[in-house]
Amino acid sequence: MIDPAFDLAAFVAATLAEDLGSGGDVTSAAVIPAGAQLTAAIASRDDIVVAGLDVAAAFFGELDPAVEVERFAVDGTRVAPGTTLLRITGNARALLAAERSALNTVQHLSGIATLTRAYVDAMAGTGAVLLDTRKTLPGLRALEKYAVTCGGGTNHRLRLDDGVLIKDNHVAIAGGVAPAVHAAVTAGLGIAAGGLPIVVEVDRLDQIAPALAAGADRLLLDNMDVATLRAAVALVAGRVPTEASGGVRLDTVRAIAETGVTFVSVGRLTQSAPAADIGLDYA
């Protein structure tokens, strides 16, 4: 589900305001009679995993509260090219004014879900879990992370306040992996203290022992090649979960997952997913 803290109504209103400007859809106002009705189908033109249909419907409902929406697919399902996802019936001016905002959103979210499913399929059977990251577009994080779950992925932290992740810059400023982790433990963080799990990034094998000794609850193995990942997993020996991260691609994710890591995190899911080809056509 979409993060309950996300204000969908505010997102829809702001997006439509950006598109409509102060004068509204001047083309439709000039060309289409005020009372004209429209029935249109939103359909996929590609093999995709669907995400964002309720968000798309919200755009049409905002401009035409009486719109009728028929749903032919649900988020998280894979559909073939030509599949009708939604059929909408309502005021023609309103629906055409909402079209671009609705399509932009469902195309973007379905693109994320589709790419995520490709990674999940590539990792199938390895036992590793696919994670997203915070590499999201400002204002769209909740929707983009929701799309990841539609594709079968798992969300990493949503915000800076719901997870402890000690990265390389934290380590550098703190004076090393062990001092950084120790500081987090001293602050009352960590599973042992009943706080948020402490995840620390390591990019060398010699950082693993100090991180664990200081109280790390999970290790992020950053930009390690497959051989080094295997060695890292062997050193950890199941004491804490491990996460492979950094430069993971669709053609490399399976080999990475097969090293025995618990998680594989992929920024590309939200950062680089191409939009799905979805259109709205007069029905």
The residues assigned a catalytic role are 100, 135, 167, 201, 222
Residue 125's Cβ-count burial label (10 Å; 0-12, 13-18, 19+) is exposed
Residue 148 and residue 271 in contact, taking contact as beta carbons nearer than 8 Å: no
Residue 118 vs residues 22, 75, 123: alpha-carbon distances, Å:
42, 16, 9
Residue 245's Cβ-count burial label (10 Å; 0-12, 13-18, 19+) is buried
What tokens were used for 149? 């779950």
Residue 96 and residue 25 in contact, taking contact as beta carbons nearer than 8 Å: yes
The Cα 118–Cα 83 span in angstroms is 19
* CA 131 remoteness from chain centre: 9
Q: Is 35 in a helix, a strand, or coil?
A: coil
Q: If we measure between CA atoms, which residue out of 160, 112, 135, 169 comes closest to residue 265?
A: 135
